[in-house]
Structure 1
Amino acid sequence: MTWSDQGQGHSQDSQDSIERLVLPGVLTAGQAARTVAAIAAAQRPDGAIPWFPGHHLDPWDHVEAAMALDAAGEHERAGAAYRWLARHQNSDGSWYAGYQDGDPERPTDLGRESNFCAYPVVGVWHHYLATGDDAFLDRMWPQVYAAVEFVLALQQPGGQIGWKREPSGAAVTDALLTGSSSVHHALRCALAIAEHREEPQPDWELATGALGHAIRRHPERFLDKSRFSMDWYYPVLSGALRGPLALERIEEGWSRFVVPGLGVRCVIPNPWVTGGESAELALALWAVGESDRAVRILADIQHLRADDGLYWTGYEFQNREMWPVERTTWTAGAMLLAVAALGGDEATTAVFGGERLPDGLPPGCC
């Protein structure tokens, strides 16, 4: 499938989906089409989606971009992204943390990070919900199963998930709240896939329940990364926190991380707002019923938008300059997913709303 610079030549499904990506004050139909076209233009013929052409690919951001393509109706392109993952999964169920320009023969980081290896499961479920393609789900089930087993081998007695395996195979048992929250989301999607296939996975249910309990009740089980905005909103974005606890967490961090009119800081105290974190916060806000604030955040970061439809990674507001000098597919992907949720895209709302995702089984004790 080819795209012109104006984003023409796409399918009727894509045209209909792009209309749902219109958000007044944030994106017009033409702007949404250019953003989708820019992500598509960065995708390699083998389906890989690097950060930008010539840069590296990591599995998590590759999936975020693929999910945005599905939200835009570009299901063939998204399917190619998942086929890339299926072809290049390691024998232990993992993927490497980085590949040069998405070339599977040129890994740049031989570490295998738990959240990177789990997140493809979220994308697989999202693609199924977007397409209804049972044959796709059947083909991907072995990859889903292997990825979940790899990740759960890193789970610690307290429920938290160790960060990664080193290239040597040694497990890093320290756990990150953001990473573990992302894994929790992936496990819930894995349980939904297993339930759909009528293949119960009681061990996964127990692991998911224990992890969710650790995220909600035991911050001491995770490394202290509270300076980073992702540690603030990710338990909400992932669905581990909902209701009053989620709203309390959002309020607690708002004044520390949100820079009115500019977006969300990546890390305190740096004078730097980033598009990806801002769009993900908007998605978390939508998930807990704060849609007005979500739209405001998305409107605030349109200063990061470039003419080609992509978004600059961040803005250093003390020196008033874009930094780093790069426009990434995953930043654009996060923006489109947030807009898709606000626009009611069914697959995106199901995956990030989480009401129909299994919760796992609560642990018997703390």
Structure 2
Amino acid sequence: MTSPGRTEHLVLPGVLTAGQAARTVAGIAAAQRPDGAVPWFDGGHLDPWDHVEAAMALDAAGEHARAAAAYAWLARVQNADGSWYAAYDYADGAEGSPKDRGREANFCAYVAVGVWHHYLSTGDEAFLDAMWPHLFAAIEFVLALQLPGGEIAWKRDDDGSFPHEALLTGCSSVYHALRCALAVAETREDPQPDWELATGRLRHAIVHHPERFLAKPHSMDWYYPVLGTALRGDAARARVQEGWDRFVVPGLGVRCVEPNPWVTGAESAELALALWAIGESDRAVRLLTDIQHLRADDGLYWTGYVFEDDAVWPEERTTWTAGALLLAVAALGGDEATTAVFGGDRLPLGLDDPAESCC
């Protein structure tokens, strides 16, 4: 098990002791495969976004070698076009074979968030140089899906076609990833003006044109423009307040989908991270405290809870739920890399398109 001494900065009264944090980190580490992959759970599948989220949690806990192995896995399995498949199977005997050959934009972009976080956690310039070609190819793949309005189509199918449809949650995550990719480019003194313009166009769509995105009843569409750094200040606080009573169930956590009586740990932890980012740490801590009913004896967290039936569902404890919680605790505890990545103050903003400034 990870030593409690390496998780002392992940202590949060009412949420985690150092020993509890160590057990949670050990639970994620136990699910990691010898090839570096971090599936949802032992014998489950992997998607690239949640794989990166788990790697970031490992870095926040000081498990830098494990995190580096997770990024090395991404480098090895990246497709020639810069993408990753939406899912890889890690059931017995599958060992990472593609399970879903769709290629989702936010899944592919999120590597930039993880790479920047790992660099800030370790200062490892050799890692940054080694991952740059993979990050570059991934961002180029994603930006090839940018639609005329600035939004990003949500996926490319295996036959190369893609729907001219965009998702607000996914695009908010892509926006965050683009800002991190620009930070990597700046650090390497390798400017990417096309990325800067694309980033600005995407933010304009997120902030000013909600009609350009498919409407979804998910809580993520509510808070992700804040979590993804597109909204800050009064606009962010107003958005959080507008959806609070619709999605937050006092004492239990955040509904995944309105109006379903189902609260989920990852959405609750992500909202807590968004709350921290806009200066509402007290509400963030209360939310993280509320979801401790999802904690299992092995230190991992059940994905969700159907409160009308008093039932855990689905009956799985996912690495990414634990990862989201650890990252929220790390931000609240002042972990420098995590606060820099999710606070967003020091991330490049991209460029505004003068043609879109008026509308």
Fold match, TM over 0.5?
yes
Q: 1: CA distance between counterparts of 2:353 and 2:12? A: 42
Counterparts of residues 315-334 of structure 1 (less than 5 Å) = 315-334=305-324
Specify which of 237, 241, 253 is matched with residue 247 of structure 1: 237
Q: What displacement does 1:363 show?
A: 1.4
- In the aligned structure 1, how far is the partner of 2:325 from the partner of 2:246? 22
Q: Distance in 1 between matches of 2:53 and 2:231?
A: 21
Deviation at 1:15, TM superposition (A): 2.8
Q: Could you tell me how far apart the structure 2 residues matched to 1:88 and 1:148 are?
A: 16
Q: 1:105 to 1:23 in 2, by over 3 A?
A: closer
Residue equivalent to 2:175:
184
Deviations 1:168-209 (A, max 9, x none): 110122000000000000000000000000011000000000
**Which of 289, 300, 303 in structure 2 is aligned with 1:313?**
303
Amino acid at match of 2:256: C
Unpaired stretches in structure 1, ≥5 consecutive residues: 9-13
Name 1:11's counterpart in structure 2: none
Q: How does the TM-score come out when normalised to structure 1?
A: 0.95
Query: Could you report, residue by residue, the CA deviation over 1:56-93 in whole angstroms, capped at 9, with x for unpaired residues?
Result: 00000000000000000000000000000000100000
> 5 Å matches for 1:81-120?
81-101=70-90, 105-120=96-111
Q: Does 1:201 find its partner at 2:192?
A: yes
Number of equivalent positions? 354
User: Which amino acid in 2 is paired with 1:323?
Assistant: W
- Cα distance change of structure 1 residues 205 and 104 upon mapping to structure 2, 3 Å threshold: farther
Aligned to 1:33: 22
Q: Is the 8 A contact 1:88 1:104 kept in 2?
A: no
Give the corresponding residue for 2:124: 133
Amino acid at match of 1:180: C
Q: What residue in structure 1 maps to residue 204 of structure 2?
A: 213
CA shift in 2, pair 1:331/1:105, >3 Å:
closer
Q: Is the 8 A contact 1:164 1:173 kept in 2?
A: no
Q: Structure 1: how far apart are the matches of 2:219 and 2:310? A: 21
- TM-score if structure 2 supplies the norm length? 0.97
**Counterparts of 1:338-357 in structure 2 under 5 Å?**
338-357=328-347
Name the amino acid aligned to 1:345. D
Output the amino acid matched with 1:38: G
One-letter code of the match for 1:95?
Answer: W
Do the aligned residues in 1 keep the contact of 2:48 with 2:87 (CA within 8 Å)?
A: yes
Distance 1:90 1:155 in 2: 19
Q: In structure 2, what is the equivalent of residue 52 of structure 1?
A: 41
Residue 296 of structure 1 aligns with which residue? 286
Q: CA deviation at 1:269?
A: 1.0
Q: Give the letter for the 2:45 counterpart.
A: H
What are the superposed Cα offsets for residues 276-306 of structure 1, whole Å, 9 maximum, x if unpaired?
Answer: 0000000000000000000000000000000
CA RMSD of aligned residues (A): 1.0
Is 1:286–2:240 an aligned residue pair?
Answer: no
8 Å CA contact 1:178, 1:234 repeated in 2: yes
Match for 1:361 among 320, 337, 351?
351
Q: Give the whole-Å Cα distance in 2 for the aligned partners of 1:306 and 1:148.
A: 37
Deviations 1:93-138 (A, max 9, x none): 0000000018665111000000000001100000000000000000
CA distance in 2, matches of 1:142, 1:108: 25
Q: Distance in 1 between matches of 2:125 and 2:95?
A: 27
Equivalent residues of 2:25, 2:58 under 8 A apart: yes
CA contact (8 A) 1:111 1:165 kept: yes
**AA at the equivalent of 1:197:** R
Q: Is the 8 A contact 1:235 1:241 kept in 2?
A: yes
In 1, Cα distance between equivalents of 2:341 and 2:294: 27
The sequence identity of aligned pairs, in percent, is 75
2:41 and 2:163 map into 1 onto residues whose CA distance is: 29
CA distance in 1, matches of 2:5, 2:31: 20
- What displacement does 1:365 show? 2.6
Which consecutive residues of structure 2, in runs of 5 or more, have no partner in the other structure?
none
Query: Residue type of the partner of 2:239?
Result: R
